A = this chain, B = another copy of it.
């Protein structure tokens, strides 16, 4: 039929599996192994479903103000969305509108090229070096925008704030988006630079360090000008993206900083211990500053390990892509989960 000729044809991003069986050790989508703050539970218990008859606050002010207070910026420097994917999609749409290519690394979050294709944005992917490090000079050439995840996924590597600042400072004609989904696990945020550079947008999420993947909250911090443009596009797409539970419960999470720091600390400790154990088993990996380890074994192919683990009920992530097809991305779970992983790996490797 003729109507199909007008359809926007795209190849969608495929998220990690969400198995419904019980008893699975789920180390494949970088979720937090611990529950959200007990304050979220309290807010949920007090939630009045009667009020759902009303539209939520289109500005999500309660949540925006909590974030602004927490990060020491003004409320009009904060934008919230339905997970950082929503924030990033809106940002691509808002800021990347030129004939020049948008730049992001060849090995990175595999949604960037999907958004570029969706919005018909040209793009180019400079290669990371052999240690999976960013080559700074690659981002100091003509471009239509830049998006860099820091720490990078799936490598887990963190690039210094000096490197980031050089790239931002060297691109006054482009928006530079730093995707900090994993920054709370040992990185340093570029938020300290947003008052100095109005072409910088820092994006974070509640899905990893805040253990709230199920509530869908992401946010961006930037200059008032940049956030203003982003809000105009968002309000041209959907007035009310954040529902009432996400506004209330997200605020609860921000208000319990003690629990947040404790959870993140536990994950970092587990990660560092697991790094040592994996090295002892013959694995190599970039020095992750995230809540996952990107590991390759000296003798057993990653694809084989991936299948063996899956049969054992241990889900990790495997990307069948150039340069990384011998790596597994293993989320850092609880100590107990990681012990079960390590015990099984010892059995099949020895």
Contacts and interface: CB of A to CB of B under 8 A. Distances in A.
Interface of A: 1-15, 18, 26, 29, 31-36, 40-41, 44, 47, 49-58, 82-83, 85-86, 89, 93-98, 114-115, 117-118, 144-145, 171-175, 198-199, 207, 211-216, 225, 229, 231-246, 249
Given A3-B199, A6-B98, A94-B7, A53 B236 contact: no
Contact of A94 (B8, B47, B49, B83): B8
Contacts of A229: 4, 7-9
Contacts of A7: 94-95, 97, 229
A9 B230 CA distance: 10
A18 B243 contact: no
Chain A interface, >50% SS class = loop
Max chain B Cβ within 10 angstroms of own Cβ: one of A53, A232, A239: A53
Contact of A240 (B8, B85, B241): B85
| Number of copies of this kind of chain in the complex | 2
10 contacts: A3-B173, A5-B98, A6-B145, A7-B97, A12-B235, A29-B55, A52-B249, A53-B213, A54-B214, A216-B240
Contacts of A172: 1-3
Contacts of A231: 12
B18 A174 contact: no
Max chain B Cβ within 10 angstroms of own Cβ: one of A89, A234, A235: A235
Contact of A3 (B2, B34, B56, B95): B95
A238 B2 CA distance: 28
B245 A173 contact: no
Max chain B Cβ within 10 angstroms of own Cβ: one of A15, A34, A240: A240
A93 B6 CA distance: 10
Contacts of A199: 1, 3
Contacts of A235: 12-14
Contacts of A57: 18
Contact of A31 (B3, B53, B115, B237): B53
Given A95-B3, A175-B3, A49 B40 contact: yes
Contacts of A85: 237-240
Nearest to A96: B6
A327 to B, nearest CB: 22
A51 B212 CA distance: 8
B10 A232 contact: yes
A119 to B, nearest CB: 9
A52 B31 CA distance: 10
A15 B54 CA distance: 13
Contacts of A41: 49-50
B214 A82 contact: no
